[in-house]
Amino acid sequence: MSIRNIVFATVLLTTALTANALTAQNEKMKSCNAQAREQTLSGDARKGFMKTCLSSAPAAAPAAKALTPQQEKMKSCNADAKTKALKGADRKAFMKTCLSGG
In this predicted structure, the answer to whether residue 71 has a pLDDT above a threshold of 80 is yes
More confident residue, 16 or 43: 43
- Residue 93 is predicted with a pLDDT of 93
Tell me how many domains the chain contains: 2
Helices 43-55 and 2-38, interaxial angle, to 10°? Answer: 140
What is the mean predicted confidence (pLDDT) over 68-87? 90
- Residue 89 is predicted with a pLDDT of 94
- Residue 51 is predicted with a pLDDT of 85
Q: Are residues 45 and 84 in the same domain?
A: no
Q: Are residues 6 and 39 in the same domain?
A: yes
Containing domain of residue 22, as a range?
2-55
Question: Measured between alpha carbons, how far is 67 from 30 in angstroms, rounded to an integer?
Answer: 21
pLDDT digits (tens, 9 = 90+) for 1-23: 577 777 666 766 666 556 555 67
